[in-house]
A and B are shown apart, each in its own frame.
Chain A
Amino acid sequence: MIQEETKKATYTIPVGPIHPALKEPIRLALTVDGEEIVDVDIFAGQVHRGIEWLGMNRNNAIQNIYLAERICGICNICHPFAYILAVEQAAGITPPPRADYIRAITAEMERIHSHLLWAGVAAHEIGFDTIFYLAWRVREEIMDLIEYVTGNRVTKAIFQIGGVRRDITEEQFPRIRQSLDYYKSLFGQLKRVFLDDKTIRMRTKNVGILKREDALKLLTVGPSCRASGVTKDVRQDQPYAAYADLDIKAVTPDMVTGTVVGDVYDRIIVRLLEVKQSIEIIEQCLEKMPPGPILAQPKTAVLLKTLTQAEGEGVGRAEAPRGEVIHYVRLEAGQSTLATWKVRAPTYVNLMSVPTILKGMQIADVPIAFASFDPCMSCTNRVVVTDRASGGNSVMSYEELSRLSVEKTKELLR
């Protein structure tokens, strides 16, 4: 009896919510019946950093731009983008049109790099490391271009309330076009690798299906909802910045296959086509970019004074690579910090559909199905598996899950 208890206790001791070897912390509790998943519970918030609290208590409105950049290591254009849109609405500041175009160009560069990063991760999750290396090698080109345009590879620090901090000049256009041409020449190859490969098709078709109705009910956003056939894209629906001048159409998988299934394969299609769409958007922006200043108020001290005296509220929405980002900001006169700051990243809502898609699936399919949502807290780093038959609880490490997934691919290849 005593032995029995000791055994159980060792099974349920967690490796710690934030294990140093894992990428980003989130915990899923899966209840399984044999190999089949019957229930899923999500535990978020292992790394809640209180960023909104800092914005409301410590930082002024301009410092918050750089704090917003640090919400996410990948989406560090779209968070400040949504944030400045909200502040501009609250304070009644209109950015010059040239800044709108520069903002859109940098945001699309971010989408290209993020989708390629995801493509690599997805390939890695099913044990296809050759494609993982290929995708990340190809991604380096856009990272170099981002550095060339903004001065930084990761946190770009290019946004300012009422404009941008760096211009894109005529002399830079040829270098930008060179990178875009590189991706255009590669597109056919990427499409062949990701959409025609037999193993990828076997591992992704009819896996992790999210039906259109569920996507709508669970408020799914971004490529994950578009892959389920919902034509929802902030750039199309309620365009901001330069997108308002362009005719953007939300990408859905039926553009390639003629039907919408809403599985992992469809999510690959959507992201691939969006890379192409982003290239076209950047080209159009370069073509149409109006001349003029890039800042409404170049003097930071004056801007800060205006913001401190401003009173109002605003909502900024931007289409991040993973879906809609929304920031709500309330400014009160005489207060340099924000009165209210609410941030909602796309993974926040996308996580809610995870139980729906995982139910009825095999454990070995968890990594790719979960990764297909491109969750910002990366992969299923840690999963608790509860076996319904035995009632036992065990913690499965990411490595173990990954091994299961890789083995499944190998089995299929045999």
Chain B
Amino acid sequence: MEKLTPQAIIDSFGKKLGEGFIGSSIYEREIAVKKNKFRSLWIEVKKSAFRDAVAHVCHIQEYPHLAIISSSDLGTEVELIYHFTIYYGEHLQELSLGLRVKLPKSDLTIPTITDLIPGALFTERETQEMMGVEVVGIPDKRRLFLPEDFPEGAYPWRKDEKGPPNDMLRVLPGREPK
């Protein structure tokens, strides 16, 4: 498949997802002496269009590279960013694509993408145990990093009452407990 420009990629997402497409931005920076461009794309989609969006990434690039899912606690909602890279394998051609989806805390679920990208399993398991986002249809529900005796219902990356309990945190000498 022919390589699209960053703007054309964004347009194709808009066309494909329609209502499910929320917004996008292109980040560009010149680096070092030759001022070659470093480019990355950010696309935000609705949760309902999320699966279609990932399928579209797989359509643009056969075997897209999913580096990681990052998750942020934004107060009333949790933001997941799926960090893809596409067009790898050639000098200066690669693009980073951050696919953003926001979930309300009342419904912290996201469908799995392991059927499209088998290697997404570890990061989905991590997101599940660390942020408390339920990955629906995940083939392996076990914890990845947290020990078995870590309390149920506590999630280390959360900044609300579901974060790690206070008695698990060591306060450094000379500091106040949070």
Using a CB–CB distance below 8 Å, which chain A residues touch chain B? 44-46, 48, 50, 52-53, 56-58, 89, 94, 97, 100-101, 216-221, 230-232, 234, 236-245, 247-250, 288, 290, 315, 317, 324, 326, 328, 330, 339-340, 342, 344, 348-349, 351-352
Contact = CB atoms under 8 A, between A and B. Distances in A.
Contacts of B146: 45, 48
Category for how many chain B residues contact A: 35 or more
B57 to A, nearest CB: 13
A101 B33 CA distance: 10
26 contacts: A45-B143, A52-B157, A89-B29, A97-B32, A100-B31, A219-B119, A221-B65, A234-B94, A236-B90, A237-B87, A237-B89, A237-B93, A238-B38, A238-B39, A238-B94, A238-B96, A240-B31, A241-B31, A242-B32, A244-B34, A245-B34, A315-B83, A315-B96, A326-B67, A342-B70, A348-B123
A232 B65 CA distance: 10
Given A52-B157, A344-B68, A245 B145 contact: no
Contacts of B117: 217, 219
Contacts, number: 132
Interface string B85-101: 10111111111101000
Contacts of A57: 178
A53 B31 contact: no
B121 A352 contact: yes
Contacts of A244: 31-32, 34, 36, 38, 92
B83 A232 contact: no
Contacts of A241: 31-32
Mostly, the A contact residues are mixed
**Most central of A58, A238, A288, A348 by chain B CB within 10 Å:** A238
A216 B63 contact: yes
A162 to B, nearest CB: 14
B38 A48 contact: no
Interface in B99-142: 117-123
